[in-house]
Structure 1
């Protein structure tokens, strides 16, 4: 891991880097860089910033649908999400148990006073800006020593010529960027051009990172 990061959270090195969705890309990038040490609720599914905010506000009380539901009727109605659990049949007891562990792990993470960096990446059709400050404020009420690094993807222009990164919002130490990657990850869950992944990681590596295992 690079050792040039100096940014701290509440004067402390970052001990946890965690995905807040909104799809698999954030978790995949963290996993490839060996920054993902354990599983959490938003790692491998679909969400919107409004859904993430709702989960934080309600302590994940609605996160699991009714036992017989194939997907999430409530989240489809509230947030327009057709498929929350992209890779697991949520009707299966083993999969429900997996998500129970993920939620409990997130609760323990929130209860910790260690420094936490949360990463959220959203596709162009899923705007973060309207909820960015609300999510940051809710994180501040839910846990201590936390910052959100939010990245709003813009459509690539093709031919590898569209790479750009712009800081468009700051709130209580958290940051929101517009990122126009060189490659298109939609339908894949990863950037075909490794440069795009490195741009995201460069923002993460600005922090002094000293990871530990699951809380």
Structure 2
């Protein structure tokens, strides 16, 4: 295929960026040439999917992941708990972010593990709010009377949800969209519809939630797991309690038949950006997701 100059530049940049992100090094000349040929007839979305999938299954990436997880920069404290690993018999067809902020979706999306938009992807939430949404089938979540638009200096759209703000002290719940506008409201309607369909499905589901210190996820997790079990089957909930950045550490602090909770002390700060600057921090989360039998 003959590239136009702009398309070739974009795809070369995509290859170089993916190499740097996943392998931590520049793309070698052979790799650059081979991947450029491989994605010649593909869209940018298809190209990104092929690159991520191929490099994440490479021997180099697997070796790097093992090295990162076993280095003296990282400590993992195993615990004797009810269940230490996911059930291999569950084939995961859906990975669902439950928030509690953008970090979860951002990390899943970066590694091509987020396929569709769902309601808790790009907003602030908490387990109790999610439980409310499950119990009233998102009636309050989608109630137009609950929205108060925000006016930011950055001019980025956003809105409060009045009930959730008062009940859970969640400010600026809708961080990147304003559901008072027809376009953004329809976005959330579609996202909720997809979420409902996933709950109804008998296919395997992996729910993932990352919570900062202000949320007592250890206390709230059992009720969230119980509520999910009232609305769906064949699922597992993977939860991370984020600590202040320090020496990288992962400790499993509780688990059950269909959930695991880890305390994660990252080496980088994500509070102001919603994403880790450290690839190692991201890989701690991704390695746990990849431990499941994924069939996305």
- Equivalenced residue count is 205
Q: Which residue of 1 aligns with 2:186?
A: 97
CA distance in 1, matches of 2:118, 2:218: 23
Q: CA deviation at 1:58?
A: 1.8
Q: Which residue of 2 aligns with 1:48?
A: 126
Point out the more displaced range, 54-63 or 180-189.
54-63
Contact 1:20 1:42 in 2 (8 A): yes
CA distance in 2, matches of 1:23, 1:54: 17
Point out the more displaced range, 170-179 or 196-205.
170-179
CA distance in 2, matches of 1:120, 1:51: 13
CA distance in 2, matches of 1:66, 1:143: 27
Which residue, 38, 42, 61 being the options, matches 2:139?
61
Deviations 1:40-59 (A, max 9, x none): 00000111121112112221
The TM-score with structure 1 as length reference comes to: 0.90
Q: Which has the higher contact order (CA 8 A, sep 6+)?
A: 1
Kindly report which structure 2 residues correspond to 1:134-149, keeping only aligned pairs within 5 A, or say none: 134-149=223-238
Alignment partner of 1:15 is 2:93:
yes
Q: CA deviation at 1:107?
A: 0.3
Q: Which residue of 1 aligns with 2:166?
A: 77
CA RMSD, Structure 1 to Structure 2 (Å) = 1.7
Contact 1:113 1:144 in 2 (8 A): yes
Q: CA deviation at 1:7?
A: 4.1
Contact 1:8 1:14 in 2 (8 A): no
Contact 1:7 1:206 in 2 (8 A): yes
Q: CA deviation at 1:65?
A: 4.0
Larger helix proportion of the pair: 2
CA distance in 2, matches of 1:65, 1:80: 18
CA distance in 2, matches of 1:173, 1:107: 20
Q: Which structure: larger Rg? A: 2
- 5+ residue gaps, structure 1, are none
Q: CA deviation at 1:95?
A: 0.5
SS in 1 for 2:172: coil
Q: Which residue of 1 aligns with 2:277?
A: 192
The TM-score with structure 2 as length reference comes to: 0.66
Q: CA deviation at 1:8?
A: 3.8
CA distance in 1, matches of 2:216, 2:117: 25
Stretches of 4+ moved more than 3 A in 1? 1-4, 6-9
